[in-house]
Amino acid sequence: QVLTLDARNHGGSPHSPLMTYEAMSLDVQHLLTHLGITKCILLGHSMGGKTAMTLALQRPDLVERLISVDISPVSTAPVSEFSAYISAMKSVKIPDGLSRSAARQLADDQLRPVVQLPQLRQFLLTNLVEVEGRYTWRVNLEAISHHLADIMNFPVFHKPYPGPTLFLGGSKSPYISSKDYPEIKRLFPKANVQYIEGAGHIVHQDKFEEFITAVLNFLTAP
């Protein structure tokens, strides 16, 4: 059984002014309790990976195995880059009455000067939704921009997570670097680090088959 969760301020989940890893970890814990799940395998990408790591470090009893996709338990890239993406998203203007494809094309054109990578623009554009004839972003851009420093950082932990862990990075992405290995090993002593050749940050989108294979191999390993 696979459950896919929208983080707070993302997708169909409620919006909240609070956006810390501790809060997002509690969201997942509450869901597990609500569904009567006492142990799970957690997989998270980027911010979701940091949320999954936070939960595993806080409540290792709930996590059988952990997969962090293209993110390390350290401070991430400069805030300025993501701040620019959020500003670009906020400044997108789409007139009412356009078809979905025309609206997406117009938003894509407006984002292009700031968000040069086509794959990243496609990823951001999945958040463009139509509400009562108007196009809007379903992510809570205000809360995310307010908590950008929290999202880029990682909480401090002293006790490691003892379970099997896979750090699955893209070979073309900087987010799991060799300089992160000591901290990965400190917090996740049973960690295995793998890279998918030719994948960028959005590993599962760039190299889907290879991504699935790597995950399944990890899940079936003794």
**Backbone phi, psi, residue 157, to 5°:** -130, 145
* Total Cβ atoms within 10 A of residue 209: 8
- Fill in the amino acid letter for 34: H
DSSP 85-134: HHHHHHT----TT--HHHHHHHHHHHHTTT---HHHHHHHHTTEEEETTE
The catalytic site residues sit at 46, 142, 201
Distance, CA of 195 to CA of 171 (rounded, Å): 5
Decide if 170 contacts 195 (C-beta within 8 A): yes
Looking at residue 36, what DSSP letter applies? Answer: T
| β-pair type (40-45, 63-69) | parallel
